[in-house]
Structure 1
Amino acid sequence: MSQGSSMERLLLLVEDDEAFARVLKRSFERRDYKVLHASSQEEMQAVLLKQTPTHAVVDLKLSGNSSGLNCVQALHAHNPAMLIVVLTGFASINTAVEAIKLGACQYLAKPSNTDDIEAAFGHVAGSEPVELTNRTTSIKNLEWERIHEVLVETDFNISETARRLGMHRRTLARKLEKRRVK
């Protein structure tokens, strides 16, 4: 994507929190990125029909129980050279490993600022350990990690995930609603 002597940096921000997205967009624009915003996987797919971003920042938990991991996979398939950073309010080893496997270059726990994200773009997957969190793991966190692991295995099929976990579909839906990250 060379244009003249400078390399255009086109960043796609996949974030459903509109206020946070506006702040990040303005901050990256001040750093000479052209920024596109999508608040869902569907909007992201529409952007990819017209654009090929060089960078992406993806929220792990999008509204409607969607996962940013699906977005990471689609972005990486669209442009394997794209630098993708995943943001989440709930950092876990399983989701960090999964994000890296799917093509993210780094995984950051919220709150992360533009400096953190831009530094993460410079990291090559596997070159440094992924910083997660210093919180101890609770039973609830382990349960959430297991739920998310099975969600990934089932390609985010709620009914199949509930069946594999041995719980009622509505119980799983309630748990997912409670864990909604904003």
Structure 2
Amino acid sequence: MHYLLLDDDTALTETLSRSLIRRGQTVSQCHNLAELDSRLSEAQFDRAIVDLKMAHESGLDAIQRIQQRQPDCAIVMLTGYASIVTAVEAIKRGAVQYLPKPADTDEIINAFGDKLTAEKIDIAPPSVERLEWEHIQRILHEQDGNISATARALNMHRRTLQRKLSKNPAKC
């Protein structure tokens, strides 16, 4: 199988790429829609793993581009921002499955098992604790890791933020 990975998180694409290669797969990576167009011109893909939100682009647009140029390519959408609305939209546009992050390689490979319809999608909404953790992480990243600036942006006491960050991420 030839996989196409589209995600602006280079660490994720590198890790997933290595994991797929260890399983005997061929992998190509891209990190934005311009690179996607280039990759689609260079090779034929059996499967694509697409992130929903990239810097200033949407994975939903990527699904359409892949479907138009390589209609036999099965697509799984990954997202850190799971919702029923985006799941249904991804399936309507041609994705065979929609997985919330974090998803391991086995879960992703299994998602390609058979083409699903929107009625078969079973997405458990993330817990409030998980949403809070992800929001804090996003703001921390926007503040370049500065705890004090993050605490101000969240309107939270710095020590409270430090306590929350010292805990492990909440389960979904």
Report the equivalent of 1:24. Answer: 16
Deviations 1:95-140 (A, max 9, x none): 1111111110000000001101000011312187212123479xxx
Contact 1:52 1:78 (C-alpha < 8 Å) held by counterparts = no
Q: Does 1:69 align with 2:60?
A: yes
Quote the sequence identity (%).
Answer: 41
Matched residue of 1:85: which SS? strand
Contact 2:5 2:50 (C-alpha < 8 Å) held by counterparts = yes
Report the equivalent of 1:60. Answer: 52
Matched residue of 1:23: which SS? helix
Q: Does 1:78 align with 2:69?
A: yes
CA RMSD after TM alignment: 1.8
In structure 2, do the counterparts of structure 1 residues 90 and 54 end up closer, same or farther at CA, with 3 Å as the change threshold?
A: same
1:54 counterpart letter in structure 2: D
Q: Does 1:103 align with 2:85?
A: no
Contact 1:106 1:123 (C-alpha < 8 Å) held by counterparts = no
Any gaps of 5 or more consecutive residues in structure 1? 1-8, 138-182
Deviations 1:41-62 (A, max 9, x none): 1001011111111100000001
2:6 counterpart letter in structure 1: V
Q: Find 1:39's aligned residue among 22, 31, 44.
A: 31
Q: Does 1:51 align with 2:43?
A: yes
The alignment's TM-score, normalised by the length of structure 2, stands at 0.71
2:3 counterpart letter in structure 1: L
- In structure 1, what is the Cα distance between the partners aligned to 2:48 and 2:66? 8
Larger radius of gyration: 2
Matched residue of 2:90: which SS? helix
Q: Does 1:94 align with 2:81?
A: no
Any gaps of 5 or more consecutive residues in structure 2? 129-172
In structure 2, do the counterparts of structure 1 residues 103 and 127 end up closer, same or farther at CA, with 3 Å as the change threshold?
A: closer
